[in-house]
Structure 1
Amino acid sequence: MDTPAVPLPQDAREQAILDSLVVVRDKLLLLKQDRTTYIRSQDILPLYDETITRVKELNEIRTETGSKEENRLDKVLESCFQLLSLFYLTIGRNNEIPANYALTSTIKRLLDHLTEADLYSAKDLGSIKATLANLSLSISQAKSRDNKAENYPYLLELLSKRVEKCQATLENLQKRLGRIGEPLLATHEKLISIIRCISLANTKAKFSSNEVQKFRKQLLDIGEKRKDGQFVAEDGSVPPGSVETGELYQRCLKWSEIVLERQGVMPEPFRPTYNTLVGIRNELEKLSLTQAWALRETDLYDFQRQLDKIDESRQNGNFYDDRGRPADLYTQRTMLYLTRRSYAYIYSFILASEPVSEALLPIYNQLQTLKRCLVEVRDSGGVSSVRELYPYSMKLNSLDNLRVDGKFVVNGDIPEGQGSVSELLAECFDLSYDLRVAAEEATAASVDGN
């Protein structure tokens, strides 16, 4: 396991805790790599309890010594919590506090990048604001419960501080966005969209000058709406944010020029890192198309580790080659775009994770598909006869017959997410029943009419 180059603990007791946590982390990594069986709660909960026990010991030692210096133990502990968090999502325990650790890590990365780039719109902040509000509520509720199984003070305190820091960063970003007056918000958002489209075109396997030229034309069309070089409201007045929007416009134009000039060619010293980032982005993009069927949440750990390592290798915001030379503007912006895009994918995957164990996901996904089909049939006018519903009814009954005493059992276990799957099954039965009743009534009316 690749651990960042940080010193080993000086205290022998901390070294003993480090050794224990390395064992926990390695067990988690082995579980993550094993695709021959489903991850079960009983595989994960003892490892979580072991981690928390070691954290308590560490806190006692550091309270005694007063040490605040970070060492390798802190890095391994972070890896353990990151893995455990993703495992909690994999086993369907999404609503428990440990599951939130990975999400807060990703949100912090996204907010730091938005702050650094100063390229974002209200839409970017909306989702993060709602997610942080939900996290804050979950933490408050967990603190108010006396449930020792999940209410560990250390983790709650850690997540509380993380969420508070993220909310403070978000407020600063919202204030910065507040510089843009209402009449210019749509223009500002369009410019953000265009510069991202140019960056996407710039990182495709085959560079297309025509595609970038198309976006550049959209920019020039926006620029033509200015009066005396300023962005104005419909009544001709100059609203707040005109200067900032103008600066963004010039930034977009300059970027389109650089991209057209460089034609997607990356300098050789930075090509290995660039290729790694493109590979990560492409893999995550593929997963976004097949997420419900192909993604195990723990898969995200390897992507996060690679991205974190690349992101943390920067100095003063820039990338450096093996000889210590900084990247030029084109290289820096291109690689930062890929890094941010990949973190955004990870964020969306974690948010979309269903509170259902991976053992039940095949059944859950089939029911999701079945529900979409039944809703589509209903919305397009229903069926003309009950016979048309036979395929749906047969599939529903086959899934229902998998239950034993009302529970879905997999390899002798009762996985997490029973409520979600049963609720979805009931919704499908209700939709099918309503369609059947409507078809029978239509048939009866037709007979009566004759």
Structure 2
Amino acid sequence: MESPAIPVPLDPREQPILERLLRTRDALLLLKQDKSSYIKSRDVLPLYEEVNGEVEKLNSARKEQDRRLIHNRLDYVLDDCFQLISLLFLTVGRNNEAPAVYSLATTVQRLLDHLEEAGFFSAKDLNSITKTLQSMRETLERGRDTYSPALLTFLESRLEQCQLSLDKLQKELAALAPGLVQTHETLVSILRSTSAVNTRSKFSATEVNGLREQLKKIEKSQKDGNFVDADGNILAGQDDLKSLIQRCWKWTEIVLEREGKIDERFREQYERLLEIRNQLDRLSVTQAWSLRETDLFGYQRRLDRIDEARVNGNFVDAEGQPADLHAQRTLLYLIRRSYAYIYALLISSEPVSEALLPVHNQLQTLRRCLIEVKESGGVSNSRELYPYSMKLNSIDNMRVDGKFYVGPDIPEGQGSVNALLAECYDLVWELRAAVVDDEERS
């Protein structure tokens, strides 16, 4: 799990804390790996309390030290524990509680760091992260009377770091004139699309040449070499835009030349990252039916280790020689894309225990079907609604005193599932009422 380069704690007070956290992490990993039964809140909360207790001891041990400490093995193990607890909270449906914030906060920071390093990003990227940070702050605020001040302060500092990175990127985009925003979005899309073609199993030169045609159209929209508004005024921020255009030309040229073939020195890293990206891609398609949030821990850690193995930002081969531009950008694209998948999976996680997910997913599917029926003009007679009504009744009959039980347990997410059930009933009622009205008029 750890790299040999990570130092051990030097302070003798930290060693027993590390040993206890290692045992707790082992227990968390066992809980994550056990697929024989559903994970329950009562399985997670004692382990969370153990970690929280160790954090307080660590804070006490380090309080006297005003210098910035180098991260040692204890910090990495603590990070593992928080990541696992965060993902376990999501798995049991406690998405709106403070500990659940940690994994998403660390993923957001990784994304922001990579966006800054790449030097190109769109307003859509930043808008999504802005909303996510706001949502996480609201979650921490709700937990102010429930969770320890030490945990909340720790999480708030994580969010503050994310906010500082986000502000920096937003400032860069703010220099762009409104009239250039759409062109900028297109250029970012061209760079990403080129990288996507570059990592496919079958390289398509036609697709890359199509992207180059888009670049030609953008260049032709200039007047005397400048981007101008309707009155002929030169638009602000176009130097950055011109630089991005040149970057697009250069990257598409390199990709066409290499035809998706990576430098053999970096073949192993490329294959590992490609596998992670493809697995996360498949998971994003089947998420509602197959995702157990704790499964993301393995992907996060594999990506983190590859990312952290870079030297001064560069991928290096066995002899310490840096990668060429093609290999460097290709590997970084795969890392960024994988973190983006993890981010998307985390923000779309439903506040429902995995024990209730089968019922929740059935109701989600039923709701989508009923909305499609409604939008396509409704039903011609009440009999067409029988299959929907029967399915709803069968789900409703699973409840006891208005609650869904799984064995003797009442899993988290009852409110979400009951709200979905009520919405489906309302849709059936509206469709049936519309049929009755039509029959009465005729």
Q: Residue 15 of structure 2 aligns to which amino acid in structure 1?
A: Q
Per-residue deviation, 1:211:
1.2
The answer for the alignment partner of 1:40 in structure 2 is 40
Residue 186 (1) aligns with residue 175 (2): no
Number of residues paired by the alignment?
441
Asked if 1:211 corresponds to 2:203, the answer is no
| 8 A Cα contact 1:7 1:72, kept in partner | yes
1:2: how far off?
Answer: 4.0
Report the Cα offset of residue 223 of structure 1: 1.4
Identity %: 57
Q: If the length of structure 2 is used for normalisation, what is the TM-score?
A: 0.97
Deviations, residues 349-372 of structure 1 (Å, cap 9, x unaligned): 110000000000000000000011
TM-score under structure 1 length normalisation: 0.95
The letter for the 2-side match of 1:47 is L
Structure 1, unaligned runs of 5 or more: none
Which residue in the other structure is 1:114 paired with?
115
Q: Which residue of 1 aligns with 2:27?
A: 27
Aligned with residue 375 of structure 2, among 370, 375, 379:
379
The CA distance in 2 between the partners of 1:333 and 1:38, in whole Å, is 41
Deviates more, 1:173-182 or 1:59-68: 59-68
**Match of residue 276 from structure 1:** 272
Whole-angstrom CA distance in 1 between matches of 2:349 and 2:395: 22
Measured in 2, the distance between the counterparts of 1:135 and 1:220 equals: 42
One-letter amino acid matched to 2:113: D
Q: Which residue of 2 aligns with 1:348?
A: 344
Residue 420 (structure 1) aligned with residue 421 (structure 2): no
Of stretches 18-27 and 1-10 in structure 1, the one that deviates more from structure 2 is 1-10
- Is 1:156 the counterpart of 2:157? The answer is no
Structure 1 stretch 59-68 or stretch 110-119: which is displaced more? 59-68
User: Equivalents in 1 of 2:336, 2:4: separation in Å?
Assistant: 21
Aligned match for 1:237, one of 230, 233, 236 = 233
Deviation digits for residues 220-273 of structure 1 (CA, Å, limit 9, x no counterpart): 121122233322223332111111111110110010000000111111110110
Q: After superposition, where does 1:320-399 map in structure 2 within 5 Å?
A: 320-399=316-395
Partners in 2 of 1:396 and 1:383 — Cα distance? 17
Name the residue aligned to 2:86: 85
Contact 1:231 1:245 in 2 (8 A): no
RMSD of equivalent CA atoms: 1.4
Structure 1 segment 123-138 matched on structure 2, within 5 A? 123-138=124-139
Contact 2:97 2:140 in 1 (8 A): no
Separation of aligned partners in 1, 2:55 and 2:181: 47
Residue 101 of structure 1 corresponds to: 102
Report the Cα distance in structure 1 between the residues aligned to 2:295 and 2:5, rounded to whole angstroms: 24
Aligned equivalents of 1:160, 1:292: Cα separation in 2 = 30
Whether 1:58 and 2:78 are equivalent positions in the alignment is no
1:64 offset after TM fit, Å? 4.9
Deviation at residue 66 of structure 1 after TM alignment: 6.0
Cα distance in 1, alignment partners of residues 65 and 185 from structure 2? 52
Q: Residue 318 of structure 1: which of 291, 294, 314 is its match?
A: 314
Matches within 5 A, 1:244-323: 244-323=240-319
In the alignment, the residues of structure 1 paired with residue 43 and residue 13 of structure 2 have an alpha-carbon distance, to the nearest angstrom, of 27
Report the AA paired with residue 278 of structure 1: L
Q: CA deviation at 1:129?
A: 0.8
Question: CA separation in 2, counterparts of 1:137 and 1:3?
Answer: 36
In the alignment, is the contact (CA less than 8 A) between 2:2 and 2:73 conserved in 1?
no
Distance 2:419 2:138 in 1: 25
What amino acid maps onto 2:9 in structure 1? P
Which residue matches 1:440? 436
1:202 deviates by 0.5
Q: Is the 8 A contact 1:122 1:177 kept in 2?
A: yes
